C-alpha cells in the first residue's frame, strides 16, 4: 500500500547541506529546545524502546512540540477533507482542538486513534450526520478515550471540559452515539495495524511541511503556507483516503523513517555551521608604525 508520496526504493543521495546565516526564519511551529550537540548527519540509535507515541520513534530530529504540532495539523486537515463542501474557519477549529486536548489531557495515542476514526468516515463516503466539525471531533475524542483507557471521564466531566452546563448531558450522550453509528461501532485499532497507521498518519502530516532545517543544535520546521499548494495536497490525500483499505495495515509494513530518508535534498536539509577562518598571526616587525606628527 503506497501513500500518495510513498517513494519506491531509491538510492539515498548525498545529504544536502547549506551554510548557516544569522537571519531568522519565520517559523509556524514552537521554537525548538536546544539539544545535546551532535552531528545531524549521523543517525542516533536509541537504547530505550520507543513506541509511536514518542517523536523519537520516527526520527531523532523532531522535538516533542513539533511532533504535537504535526498531529494537530493532521487532525485539522482530515476534518477539512471530511467537510470539503463546507467552509471551515481553520483558526477557530485549531483553537478548539488544542483547548479540548489540553483540558482533557488527551494522550498522543488517543489523538492518533481519533484521526483514524476520521479516515474511516472519509472512506465510508456516507453523509456525515453531524454538521459541526467541532462536535464531531469532540465525539471522536470521547470514543477514542474510552477505547484507549480503562479509566475515563464521565459525561459530567466532559461537560466541564467543554464549558457546558450540567443539563447538557443528553447532548453529549447523543453526540457519542451518533459517532458510534457513523463508525458502525468499529473502534478497534491495535498491534501492527496501529503501528502502521501511525506511520501513515505521520507521512500525511509531514507532507504539509515546506522545509525542515536540521543542525547540530536545533531542528526547525516551516509549514507550507501557499494555499494553492495546500489544496493540491488535500486533493491528493482525499483520493488516497477514499480508496484506503485499512486491512492492508495488517499486511504491509509502513515506515516513516524510510520516507524521511527519501526527503533529503527535497524538503530536509542539514545546516552546517561555517568553520571560522584562522587569521594569520602578524609579527610585530610587520606592523607599520604610525608616522610621527609635530606637536604644534
pLDDT at 43: 43
Task: Give CA–CA dist 19/249, Å, rounded.
Answer: 41
pLDDT at 263: 94
The whole-model pTM stands at 0.78
Longest pairwise C-alpha distance within the chain: 102
pLDDT at 42: 45
Element holding 157 (H helix, E strand): helix 155-162
Task: Give CA–CA dist 261/202, Å, rounded.
Answer: 14
Please tell me the class of the 49-272 domain: mainly alpha
pLDDT at 110: 96
pLDDT at 203: 97
Rg of the chain over Cα atoms, rounded to whole angstroms, equals 25
Closest C-alpha among 88, 100, 205 to residue 162: 100
- pLDDT tens for residues 205-259? 999 999 999 987 888 999 999 999 999 999 999 999 999 999 999 998 999 999 9
Q: What is the mean pLDDT of each run of 10 residues along the chain (296 residues)?
A: 49 43 36 42 51 93 94 97 91 95 94 97 87 95 89 86 83 93 92 96 97 89 95 96 94 93 91 63 56 51
Task: Give CA–CA dist 247/198, Å, rounded.
Answer: 14
pLDDT at 11: 40
Reduce the DSSP state of residue 236 to 3 states and report it: helix
- pLDDT tens for residues 135-145? 999 999 999 99
Closest C-alpha among 67, 62, 34 to residue 217: 34
Task: Give CA–CA dist 250/1, Å, rounded.
Answer: 11
8-state DSSP, 264: B
Residue identified by cell 489523538 is: 111
Amino acid at each position: 500500500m503506497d501513500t500518495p508520496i510513498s517513494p519506491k526504493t531509491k538510492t539515498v543521495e548525498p545529504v544536502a547541506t547549506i551554510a548557516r546565516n544569522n537571519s531568522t526564519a519565520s517559523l509556524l511551529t514552537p521554537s525548538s529546545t536546544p539539544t545535546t550537540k551532535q552531528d545531524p548527519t549521523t543517525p542516533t540509535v536509541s537504547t530505550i524502546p520507543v513506541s509511536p507515541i514518542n517523536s523519537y520513534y520516527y526520527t531523532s530530529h523532531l522535538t516533542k512540540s513539533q511532533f504535537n504540532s504535526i498531529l494537530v495539523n493532521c487532525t485539522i486537515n482530515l476534518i477539512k477533507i471530511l467537510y470539503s463542501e463546507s467552509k471551515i474557519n481553520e483558526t477557530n477549529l485549531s483553537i478548539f482542538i488544542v483547548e479540548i486536548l489540553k483540558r482533557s489531557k488527551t494522550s498522543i495515542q488517543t489523538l492518533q486513534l481519533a484521526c483514524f476514526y476520521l479516515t474511516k468516515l472519509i472512506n465510508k463516503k456516507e453523509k456525515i450526520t453531524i454538521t459541526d466539525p467541532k462536535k464531531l471531533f469532540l465525539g471522536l475524542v470521547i470514543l477514542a478515550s474510552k477505547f484507549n483507557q480503562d479509566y475515563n471521564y464521565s459525561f459530567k466531566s466532559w461537560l466541564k471540559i467543554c464549558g457546558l452546563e450540567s443539563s447538557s448531558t443528553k447532548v453529549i450522550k447523543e453526540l457519542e452515539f451518533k459517532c458510534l453509528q457513523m463508525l458502525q461501532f468499529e473502534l478497534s485499532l491495535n498491534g501492527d495495524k496501529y503501528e502502521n497507521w501511525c506511520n501513515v498518519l505521520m507521512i500525511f502530516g509531514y507532507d504539509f511541511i515546506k522545509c525542515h532545517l536540521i543542525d547540530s543544535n536545533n531542528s526547525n520546521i516551516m509549514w507550507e503556507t501557499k494555499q494553492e499548494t495546500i489544496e493540491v495536497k488535500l486533493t491528493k490525500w482525499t483520493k488516497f483516503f477514499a480508496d484506503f483499505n485499512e486491512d492492508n495495515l495488517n499486511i504491509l509494513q509502513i515506515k516513516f523513517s524510510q520516507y524521511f530518508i527519501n526527503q533529503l535534498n527535497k524538503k530536509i536539509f542539514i545546516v552546517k555551521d561555517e568553520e571560522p577562518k584562522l587569521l594569520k598571526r602578524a609579527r610585530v616587525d610587520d606592523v607599520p608604525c604610525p608616522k610621527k606628527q609635530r606637536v604644534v
